[in-house]
Amino acid sequence: MYDDETPRRAARAREILNKLERVYLSAIRAIALVAATLLVIYATWLAASGIYKSSRDVRSVKEDSAVVTPEEVADIDLREVAKTAAQPTSDPLAVEKRYYADFTKRYFALFKAKYEPFKKPDDQPLDQKTFDQRYLQTGDRLEAIKVGAGGFEQDKADLESLLTTMTAVAGNQKTVERLQTYRLAKKIPVTRTESGMRSERYCYYYSDYFDQCGVWDTRSVPYSRKIQEMKLPAGIISHADLFGAYQDAYLSKLANKRDGIAAAAERKRNEIMADNVDGQVRLWTALQVVGAFLVLMFLFLLIALERHQRRIAASAPTVE
């Protein structure tokens, strides 16, 4: 009884192990196929994105031109505004001097035609030289070009853009209203208090014997006094101050826009350079994934060969 049961139990155990082996091998095969498929998809995505990012060129980033519109120049808060001939051909700056002289003449003509008609009778008229010193400072511009601190072509383009914009803003309805308001405005008395320190002479030592001061000295004493001035109502400025405020607004907004454009372009360049590095990393990772795929396929092949050999061995006739 014992001898008959032992072979049957061994056969059942082998059958169970064979079933488990087939189940595990089927599971491993399915997992390997799924993993291989995912590796192929991942490697393809890494290769495609890596090639794209590596191929990007920072030179493709171009900075847009900064433009300030007449409406932006006119959109200023007046309460914040402070009151305040041909050269020899041997001259290396002859071209620049001729241009600045011509531009000053054209810019001054704009002021005379559009702003000066609204001046008050007691306003001091501006001549072209004073106008240049107040608004353009062409002497400083020439000195900057001479020492290499400024670029003539860029400055020329900026001035031409300034003239075009200032000409347009001069005809803006808001500008006309402001100039008319100034011409009709009456100055009102404004009292302010001025405080500070002043020197005062005093008798340091008084002589009773001589009945007079023997030693004089000075000391600082605080003072306060009321000062009355005639000023324009709040929010109203002169035609000359309005012209300067518009120019300052244009130059300030232009500088801010250029800074913003340059910063955006720099961010874009940095992004492209980061993509270049990331693209190279992705290509290398894609190669590693392909290598892992090949190793996985090799293992799958070994499993398939081993199973195939066992099937052949099982089906072969037993030699007695």
Query: From CA 16, how far away is CA 300, in angstroms rounded?
Result: 23
pLDDT digits (tens, 9 = 90+) for 92-114: 889 999 999 999 999 999 999 99
User: Per-residue pLDDT averaged across 219-245, rounded?
Assistant: 86
pLDDT digits (tens, 9 = 90+) for 26-48: 777 777 778 778 878 887 887 88
Helix (H, G, I), strand (E, B) or coil at 159: helix
Contact 93, 146 (CB under 8 A): yes
More confident residue, 22 or 301: 301
Those residues whose C-beta lies under 8 Å from the C-beta of residue 282, and which sit 6 or more positions away, are 46, 47, 49, 50, 53
State yes or no: pLDDT of 83 exceeds 50: no
Contact 78, 245 (CB under 8 A): yes
State yes or no: pLDDT of 319 exceeds 80: no
User: Per-residue pLDDT averaged across 60-66, rounded?
Assistant: 71
Give the pLDDT score at 316: 64
User: Per-residue pLDDT averaged across 225-242, rounded?
Assistant: 85
Amino acid, single-letter form, for residue 173: Q
Query: From CA 254, how far away is CA 263, in angstroms rounded?
Result: 14
Those residues whose C-beta lies under 8 Å from the C-beta of residue 34, and which sit 6 or more positions away, are none
Q: Read off the pTM.
A: 0.57
Report helix angle 138-146 to 152-170, nearest 10: 160
Percent of the chain with pLDDT over 70: 89
H-run or E-run covering 7: helix 2-55
Lowest mean pLDDT, pick from 91-105, 154-168, 218-232, 303-317? 303-317
State yes or no: pLDDT of 3 exceeds 60: no
State yes or no: pLDDT of 86 exceeds 70: no
Specify the pairing of strand 212-231 against strand 188-207. antiparallel
Give the pLDDT score at 53: 74
